[in-house]
Amino acid sequence: MNLRAFDESIEARRRALELTPGGVHSNVRLSAPNITFARGKGAWLWDVDGNDYVDYLLGQGPNFFGHAPDVLNRSVADAMSRGSVFGSQNVYENPAGEAFLDTVRWADQVRFGSSGTEVVQVALRLARALTGRDKFIRFEGHYHGWLDNVLVKTVNGIPSPASKGQVESHLTDSLMLRFNDLEAVETALAHRHTEVAAVILEPVMCNIGAIPPRPGYLEGVRELCTRYGVVLIFDEVVTGFRLAAGGAAERFGVVPDLATFGKAMAGGWPVAALAGTADLMESLGTGAVNHSGTFNASVGACAAVSASLAALRDDPPYARIEAHGHALMRGLRELGRRHGVPLRVQGLPMAFHVSFGDPEPVTNYEDLQMLDLDRYHRFAAELANQGVWVAGRGVWYVSTTHAEPELEAVLERVDGALEQLVR
């Protein structure tokens, strides 16, 4: 029986609703269970009522080293004791840049920013500047931030604004294609390459579903971009440092022209990066293309990047994460079978998608529409009740701190949640 109480969270929510619209500071959180957390350590969270949670949301991905990692906290606190932003260069920038380029080895240069949304815009701007073309190709279900030219909802293949107040005409900057369909890219570029500056994609579609590229797909897109003089942008905000130290580019052996990073790069610290080849990045340096930001490459951000990437270099966690992810994926499937529910688990062990439904396999956004999203939503809410913190959209992330005790706890709690769900 679940005897958890949530009185303090309910009270915090009541007050939050008075202070801020919807009681949240990011719209993504509007649909999440209303829990107020007091602290986190490693793979665990504790709410204001003292309930514990095994965390597989990781703050939407950033807490790759778990919560409050000692190694990161020490470096960042030490650096921050010397100040934060100086309106000029600080001594933490070069080490962070070196650590980044030693890890993302295909890139020549890096520019740090503050959010994934922002560096995506810089990438698109650079591509336009280089090619003199305006449009970009993107893919259904891929998320590239919340600004007007990239925030869409797609209904029956037709993209439209996902928010009131969005300038609808900005969506005409992009051509929306189906992911994992190389022919669609080939046809679009054959007909319209003179208008297209860039192709931007999540190398593994992770924001809705966890859909890996079909064999040969990324290679094919790379070849087409080269053939038509189009800039290939990998949006590695989720995949960067998570799928491999060098991100999806390393894991799949396909090199983009530009790539954007955030989340796992700095273990929870708000910092993002744009990386690219020298010829593309050059126009930021001449000032021809503008990218600015008061907080870019702040002392704390750079210290967090250096500490995170040093941790990846000194103790590569990928084999451990994969083992944990595989065991968890197997355990979830087994529990689904035992409870007689069509629980689907798909993706890579460090970032996989859990859903209810029959389609096998899910390869694009259209397939995802056939899943029972409401049922998963109810499941996620029950998981929160039982002490498992996951995203309502079904993506589960594994950190370097998830181990045997977490596996045991999560499977026991998922068992309890499924029991409630099928009652």
Interacting positions 231-260 with ligand PLP (CB under 6 A): 235, 237-238
Region of 126-134, 230-238, 369-377, 391-399 interacting with ligand PLP (CB under 6 A) = 230-238
Distance (Å, whole) CA 217 – CA 183: 10
For ligand PLP, the closer of residues 9 and 207 by Cβ is: 207
Among 58, 120, 233, 284, which residue interacts with ligand PLP (rule: CB under 6 A)? Answer: 120
Which string of x and - marks every residue 258-277 that binds ligand PLP (by CB under 6 A)?
----x---------x-----
Read out DSSP for 310-333? HHHHHS--HHHHHHHHHHHHHHHH
Checking phi first, is residue 66 left (phi over 0); if not, alpha (psi -120 to 50) or beta? left
Among 42, 97, 113, 145, which residue interacts with ligand PLP (rule: CB under 6 A)? Answer: 145
263 a catalytic residue: yes
Hey, what are 142's tokens? Answer: 């891929």
Interacting positions 55-74 with ligand PLP (CB under 6 A): 60
Query: Radius of gyration over alpha carbons of the chain, in Å?
Result: 21
Instruction: Provide the sign of the torsion angle of the four alpha carbons 246, 251, 252, 253, taken in this order.
Output: positive
Among 31, 73, 115, 277, which residue interacts with ligand PLP (rule: CB under 6 A)? Answer: 115
Distance (Å, whole) CA 315 – CA 301: 21
Read out DSSP for 38-104? EEEEBTEEEETT--EEEESSTTTTT-TT-BS-HHHHHHHHHHHTT-S--SS--TTHHHHHHHHHHHS
Which string of x and - marks every residue 121-140 that binds ligand PLP (by CB under 6 A)?
--------------------
Among 117, 298, 308, 364, which residue interacts with ligand PLP (rule: CB under 6 A)? Answer: 117
Which string of x and - marks every residue 21-60 that binds ligand PLP (by CB under 6 A)?
---------------------------------------x
116 binding ligand PLP? (CB under 6 A): yes
H-helix segments, 268-392:
278-285, 299-314, 318-339, 365-368, 373-386
Q: Which residue out of 53, 143, 365, 397 is catalytically annotated?
A: 143
143 a catalytic residue: yes
Strands (E) in 180-241, as ranges, are 196-201, 231-235
235 a catalytic residue: yes
Kindly list the catalytic residues: 143, 235, 263
Binding site for ligand PLP (CB under 6 A): 60, 115-117, 120, 143-145, 202, 207, 235, 237-238, 262, 272
